Amino acid sequence: MRHSSVLTIAQIFGSIIAVFIGACLSAASDSDWELEPMKPNLKDKASLQRGLGLYVNFCLGCHSLQYRRYERTARDLGDIHKDDMLDYVIFTGQPIGDYMYSSMSKEDAKSWFGAAPPDLTMVTRVRSPKWVYNFLKTFYMDDERPFGVNNKVFPNVGMPHVLLPLQGIPEEICYGYEAVDLLAREPILREKKLEGILTRTDRDTPIEQLDPLEGRELNCPEVAAIPGTGLYTPEQFDQAAYDIANFLHYMGDPSREVRVSMGRYVIGFLVILMIFAYILKREFWKDVPKSPRRVREEHTTEL
**Bridge partner residues of 178 (DSSP):** 217
**Bridge partner residues of 219 (DSSP):** 175
Per CB under 6 A, 166 contacts ligand HEC: no
Q: Least distance in Å: CB of 45 to ligand HEC? A: 19
Q: Least distance in Å: CB of 5 to ligand HEC? A: 42
Q: Are residues 215 and 180 in contact, defined by beta-carbon separation less than 8 angstroms?
A: yes
Q: Alpha-carbon dihedral of residues 172, 177, 182, 188, nearest 10 degrees?
A: 110
Q: Least distance in Å: CB of 110 to ligand HEC? A: 8
Q: How far apart are CA 124 and CA 26, in angstroms?
A: 17
Q: Least distance in Å: CB of 244 to ligand HEC? A: 5
Q: How far apart are CA 186 and CA 182, in angstroms?
A: 6
Stretch that binds ligand HEC, among 78-86, 111-119, 212-220, 261-269 (CB under 6 A): 111-119
Measured at CB, which residue is nearest to ligand HEC? 59
User: Between 33 and 113, whose beta carbon lies closer to ligand HEC?
Assistant: 113
Q: Which DSSP category does 115 fall into?
A: S
Task: Say whether 290 sits in a helix, a strand or coil.
Answer: coil
Q: Which DSSP category does 37 fall into?
A: P
Task: Say whether 231 sits in a helix, a strand or coil.
Answer: coil
Per CB under 6 A, 157 contacts ligand HEC: yes
User: Between 89 and 157, whose beta carbon lies closer to ligand HEC?
Assistant: 157
Site size for ligand HEC (CB under 6 A): 23
Binding mask 2-41 for ligand HEC (x = CB under 6 A): ---------------------------x------------
Q: Which DSSP category does 226 fall into?
A: P
Q: How far apart are CA 74 and CA 72, in angstroms?
A: 5
Which residues of this protein are in contact with ligand HEC, per CB under 6 A?
A: 29, 58-59, 61-63, 113, 115, 117-118, 120, 123, 127, 132, 135-136, 157-160, 162-163, 244
